[in-house]
Structure 1
Amino acid sequence: MNASGWAVGKKVGRKPAFTEHDIIRAAMDEGLDTFTLAAVADRIGVGATAIYRLFGSRDEIVTACLDAVAATIALPEPGMGWREVLRQWANECWRICEDHPGLPRVVYSYAPAVTRITEVLDAYAASLACHDITSGQAGFALDFLGDTVFACHLGVQAMRAADRTGATGLDQVRAALGGTHSILHPHESWQQRGLVDTKVEFILTGLEHHWPEV
């Protein structure tokens, strides 16, 4: 009690004017592989220390971002053939790379990243199981295709990136090769999906003849 007779309790602070979703969105907009707490805070108009009201560390934000990405991955529909299932998986891997800059680098540099899509992988494995494909075989195929697509996207990002002069990676490759005759033939497709679909179909054809297990 104070002199006026009113009870004195713990002072209630102002509620944060932002949500976990705001932080996740800001981190994705900054780039999953490069965002800083300061940059995220600046985007949502708060001080950097305010972020700790909702997340204890940068890694916690990364994990939350990966969960948000995983929630957007389309799952197989009933009745899909195994090739359709794997093509969809490859397409979804490419889409999330396109939608979320920096995602491939995070997947390869942040060890727990793969644990955020266990439910997605289980759903794809269950769909493949309808075609007598074991969980080990499904794991191999999903990993092989995912690695192929993510690695290809890393290369595409390098071809798209521009230096201080505005020259893209593709421009730099062309300049480095000059007029020399080489097996390399730089093409605009290097900045797009390029040979991704060809590689996916090559893998599917190989699986028709031999399907390893992990």
Structure 2
Amino acid sequence: MLDAAERVSAQGFDALTIRAVATELGSSPMALYRCFATKDELVDALLDRILGRLATPEPRGDWAADLAAFARAHRMLLALHPWAIIPLFTHPNPGLNATRIGELALDILRRGGVTGGDAVADFCGILALNYGWSAFATARSAAARIGQDPGPVIGAMIAALPAERFPLTVAVADQMSAYGSDEHYERALRHLVSGIRDSGIRDSAAVTGSAR
């Protein structure tokens, strides 16, 4: 059933219905309802399956590098299953695999001296970066597949703006056309992880100082 649901979801989350999955299976909707009482139960099971595919990076001994590797692996998971981005907002904890992902991130942060509410906030920051980035990158990729990549259009529109009124924006027109690129993601991730690392160092120093 989940194999069939995944094939249907590849057409987009809106396509995922009990009836569509039953049709894919050559069965009746009532047969599925014996396993999943509601569509939400089916979505939870499918999301849990997807999240179980996170490629856990091997620890490198540098917790900040491990955190960046975790973020990249999570982003790749979303890129491979773009239909899952929207339902993950409304089903943030669909099963134990979501908990496993959170435990992995919190353990990496703990190694850097970031714990408690600070660790939760930093973990949420990484998720927010990945969900947001994946959302507009996916939309751009979908448009490009039908020959409507908005990047060059946006770049041309920005370049045509009056430079005397928007000098800074016009100066980066080429870069604006590359929004959602891997290079831009790496820069954003680098700054996010750097900020988390520096915060962990400051907190550790403060704890050491108070202990004295």
TM > 0.5 between the two?
yes
Instruction: Find the counterpart in structure 2 of residue 207 from structure 1.
Output: 196
1:45-73 Cα deviation digits (max 9, x unpaired): 22333321321111111101111112111
Aligned-partner Cα distance in 2 for 1:95–1:156: 12
Quickly say closer, same or farther: Cα 1:143–1:162, change in 2 above 3 A. Answer: same
CA contact (8 A) 2:155 2:173 kept: no
Quickly say closer, same or farther: Cα 1:76–1:162, change in 2 above 3 A. Answer: closer
Instruction: Find the counterpart in structure 1 of residue 93 from structure 2.
Output: 114
Aligned partner (choices 85, 103, 106) of residue 84 of structure 2: 103
Q: Which amino acid aligns with 1:73?
A: L
The equivalences for 1:120-131 within 5 A come to: 120-131=101-112
Q: Give 5+ residue unaligned stretches, structure 2.
A: 164-169, 204-212
Instruction: Find the counterpart in structure 2 of residue 148 from structure 1.
Output: 129
Instruction: Find the counterpart in structure 1 of residue 67 from structure 2.
Output: 86
TM-fit CA distance, 1:185: 3.1
Aligned-partner Cα distance in 2 for 1:21–1:68: 8
Q: What percentage of residue pairs aligned between the two structures are identical?
A: 20
1:185 aligns with 2:148: no
Aligned-partner Cα distance in 2 for 1:75–1:68: 15
Higher helix proportion, which one? 2
Quickly say closer, same or farther: Cα 1:61–1:201, change in 2 above 3 A. Answer: same
Greater Cα shift, 92-101 or 154-163:
154-163
1:196 aligns with 2:185: yes
The equivalences for 1:66-85 within 5 A come to: 66-78=47-59, 80-85=61-66
Q: How many residues align?
A: 192
TM-score (norm 2): 0.74
CA contact (8 A) 1:107 1:113 kept: yes
Aligned-partner Cα distance in 2 for 1:159–1:79: 33
Q: Secondary structure at the match of 2:93?
A: helix
Q: Give 5+ residue unaligned stretches, structure 1.
A: 1-19
Q: Which amino acid aligns with 2:52?
A: A
1:50 aligns with 2:39: no
Which of structures 1 and 2 has the bigger CA Rg? 1
Aligned partner (choices 19, 29, 36) of residue 17 of structure 2: 36
1:133 aligns with 2:114: yes
Q: Which amino acid aligns with 2:198?
A: H
CA contact (8 A) 2:85 2:131 kept: yes
